Amino acid sequence: MSILVTGAAGFIGSHVCEHYLNRGFEVIGIDNFDPFYSKSIKKENVEPFINNSKLHFYESDIRDSGTLQRIFSENNVDHVIHLAAKAGVRPSIDLIEEYYDVNVNGTLSLLQSMKANNVNKLLFASSSSVYGNNKKVPFSESDSVDNPISPYAASKKSAELLCHVYAHLFKFDITCLRFFTVYGPRQRPDLAIHKFTRLIDEGSLISFYGDGSTSRDYTFIDDIVQGIDAALIHLKGFNIYNLGESNVIDLKTLVKTIENVLGKKAIINQLPLPAGDVNTTFADISKAKMELGYQPTQNFEKGIKEFVKWYNSSKSLLTQ
């Protein structure tokens, strides 16, 4: 089987590529090395497998339909795992057009290329942010997602709708996976766990938004990869699944856990909660468990230890 992975050099994408290469699959990786963070970090992400003979890697943008056509024509693609996106809630507020162009038009470009090349099996990486400030917790796939509170969230909801259209009109098999705050080795440097770890380690101020009661369903990368694998096996028709740990950690506990693992105290700069941020994310994963056999296993403290171990081994690159 051959799998095309967009966003292949990113945090999640590099783990997905490595997973399927280790299983002997042909992997076609696409990444445009978006300057949202350092290209050198993304190159380091793919370094463990970049010379694997079963990897065919393209530095390209999913909005480039001509290059997409060439990639499909040069490779026998069976499935697509679409992870490429402009990421981040807060930066999306100032870059609305760019986020929509990449996350919606880029997804449309990919779907059109798949249709033109008779490839109709897709996993799409959506986000827990589509739930907005849903008052019902935990969040279920049957809940309304008509009230996003950031452009990023709205772009992900829009892309889900595009996927539904292609499943309905063109009989694509598409599963949308709503990821809940993924962390672990190779995590993006802008995300809270990575940023807090670096700043606490350096003895610098950390921006602590609100009173510390905001909470997230932090999901370890290995559990996300397991969920992706299960979804690929059960890919049929149109479906949406939450992938989380179904375990909520508040901001105060997050900082305390990182302090304990690093053996250093945080210097806190308390700030108001920024626009676009949700108060909590909490995944109801009963549907994924029942229909996919999804079974997350990672303990949060152990996951932070795994992240810090990676951070320490990569510090010379990450702190440049």
Question: Per-residue pLDDT tens for 155-178?
Answer: 999 999 999 999 999 999 999 999
Share above pLDDT 70 across residues of the chain, in percent, rounded to a whole number:
99
Residue 273's pLDDT is: 77
Contact yes or no for 220/296 (Cβ under 8 A) = yes
The confidence band for 315, taking pLDDT boundaries of 50, 70 and 90, is: confident
CA distance 141 to 211: 29
Residues in the chain: 320
φ/ψ of 54, rounded to 5, equals: -90, 0
pLDDT digits (tens, 9 = 90+) for 291-311: 999 999 999 999 999 999 999
CA distance 55 to 44: 16
The confidence band for 60, taking pLDDT boundaries of 50, 70 and 90, is: very high
pLDDT digits (tens, 9 = 90+) for 74-116: 999 999 999 999 998 889 999 999 999 999 999 999 999 999 9
CATH class in words for 2-187+217-245+280-298? alpha beta
CA distance 42 to 2: 22
The confidence band for 234, taking pLDDT boundaries of 50, 70 and 90, is: very high
Per-residue pLDDT at 13 exceeds 70? yes
Residue 37's pLDDT is: 87
| Mean pLDDT score, 6-20 | 98
pLDDT averaged over every residue in the chain: 95
Residue 277's pLDDT is: 77
Share above pLDDT 90 across residues of the chain, in percent, rounded to a whole number:
88
Is residue 241 flagged as an active site residue? Answer: no
Residue 208's pLDDT is: 86
Residue 269's pLDDT is: 87
Residue 320's pLDDT is: 60
Strands 219-220 vs 238-243: parallel, antiparallel or unpaired: unpaired
46: tokens are 């793919």
In the set 20, 37, 58, 152, the catalytic residue is 152
| Mean pLDDT score, 242-262 | 96
Q: Which residues pair with 3 in a beta bridge?
A: 27, 79
Contact yes or no for 83/13 (Cβ under 8 A) = yes
pLDDT digits (tens, 9 = 90+) for 108-142: 999 999 999 999 999 999 999 999 998 899 999 99
